[in-house]
Amino acid sequence: MNKKLKILFLGDAVGRPGRFAIRDFLALRKEDYDFVIANVENASHGYGLTKNNYEQILRYGVHAMTSGNHIWDRKEIFEYIADADKLVRPLNYPEGTPGVGARVFKINENISIGVINALGQVFMGNMLRPWELIKDEINKIKR
């Protein structure tokens, strides 16, 4: 019999209360889920994400993190985003933007999951059109 995959998406974790909500919930329920994703663009004092908070959230049991336009609010992100292999920034930023907009995570020997992150365009300035980029990314992941 096939087991159903249980995915939990948490967000938007805002500041210490948001981080501690993730910590406290996962301390009780982490084993109920196969994969945990959290939106963390405001996890450090309400804006951005420090490297320390990134590592802290991983220790709580989060497998993947998404973000949004506030991920850039702390300049520190530019120092570590290339090495933050659990963080997915919005896909539809212009080419050359640090980080990646999609990642594939291995859940176990037989199952992988693709996480794609995109921002809408309303009130977001020069964001690229998300729908075509998402379709292209899905096709890449399927290969």
Q: Which residues are catalytic?
A: 70
DSSP the chain: -PPPP-EEEE---BHHHHHHHHHHHHHHHGGG-SEEEEE-TBTTTTSS--HHHHHHHHHTT--EEE--GGGGGSTTHHHHGGG-TTEE--TTSPTT-SS-SEEEEE-SSS-EEEEE----STTSSSPPPHHHHHHHHHHHHH-
